[in-house]
Structure 1
Amino acid sequence: MAVYKIVEAEDDILRDKARLVTKFGKNTERLLDNMKDTMYANKGVGLAAPQIGVSKRVIVVDVGEGPIEFINPEIIDVDGTQTDSEGCLSVPGVLGDVTRALRVEVKGLDRSGNETGVRAEGFLARALQHEIDHLDGILFIDKAKNLRKI
């Protein structure tokens, strides 16, 4: 597959709302595979399509339990709060403390266009929220306190 260059914070595509995916097939499968390759090559735990310059509502996440793919993801339920340090492949060398839901329920579509969902908590819940924010033009630095260079 292919490893793409990560778009950085100054790029306008990261501030736009990504477009819904309505067609499924080889192009969508290739996008998901390339996103995973790019995420792993950059030692990330999540990646949203806008981070590789593609305005589509597609994310991949792997916090060490195997990859999770979502197309047109939506957070449908949240519970609790957690504050922890976050970074982002599109904002290299910066960390900040972000408060997010402790538990989330996410629904969306899989690579074939079938409905799928997950209930997540802790680090996985944080990663899903972070990547879904990207689809709405929100960066972690918009929510972070105590921003610092690493």
Structure 2
Amino acid sequence: MPVREILQLGHPVLRQAAQPVADPTDPAVAALVTDLSDTVAHWRETTGYGRAIAAPQIGVLQRVILLRLPGRPVWPLINPSIIDHSSETMEVWDACLSFLSIFMRVTRYPWIRVRYQDLQGSWHETHAGAEDDLAELLQHEIDHLDGILALDRLTDVKSICSRQEFERQFKTDSPYGR
């Protein structure tokens, strides 16, 4: 399948809420998942960044996200939603393929519980925490489905920095340095 263009900051689709997928077994959903997988793999190869992607980032307003974590199978989540989270929050570095030149500190929950469907339509729940920075990654991608960008979770405007400066000062101690 083709590598799709990733919409960039300012594109109005990134601020729209995605619609639920009516039938996860529809072949069009599998094709979308393939496109998401190919696209994020391409970005990882060419930029060194990209562990996950949401369908709105390629202009598809459906509730589908895909994780491509190193050493793990590709993981599509259809109709994901956060059903529980920790009471405390934390600050983490964040960036996005839709504005990869900008890094910032954002507020996230240290752990979440997510309910989602697989491509066969079965429902699952998963607990995500610090391992593989899964909690922050899933929050970032699910936010995309609601038209929320990492910039909306910004802790302090003074934390915004360029990709080059982030890599010089902070990358080693962040999830992006792994």
Runs of 4 or more, structure 1, over 4 Å off, are none
The answer as to whether partners of 1:108 and 1:116 remain within 8 angstroms in 2 is yes
The answer as to whether partners of 1:109 and 1:116 remain within 8 angstroms in 2 is yes
What CA deviation, in whole Å up to 9, does each residue of 1:75-107 have, x standing for no partner?
Answer: 011114221111100012000001101111100
Match for 1:135 among 145, 148, 168? Answer: 145
- Give the aligned residue type for 1:125: A
Larger RCO of the pair (alpha carbons < 8 Å, separation 6+): 1
Provide structure 1 residue ranges, at least 5 long, that are not aligned to the other structure. none
Deviation at 1:62, TM superposition (A): 2.7
- Give the aligned residue type for 2:109: A
Rounded to whole Å, the distance in 2 between the matches of 1:104 and 1:63 is 18
Match of 2:161 in 1: 148
RMSD: 1.1
Match of 2:128 in 1: 120
More helix per residue: 2
Provide structure 2 residue ranges, at least 5 long, that are not aligned to the other structure. 45-49, 164-178
More strand per residue: 1
Match for 1:49 among 48, 55, 60? Answer: 55
Match of 2:64 in 1: 58
Please identify, of 42-51 and 140-149, the stretch whose mean Cα deviation from structure 2 is larger: 140-149
Of the two, which has the highest radius of gyration? 2
Q: What is the count of residue pairs matched by the alignment?
A: 150
- Give the aligned residue type for 2:13: I
TM-score (norm 2): 0.80
Deviation at 1:5, TM superposition (A): 0.6
Identity value in percent: 35
Deviation at 1:69, TM superposition (A): 1.3
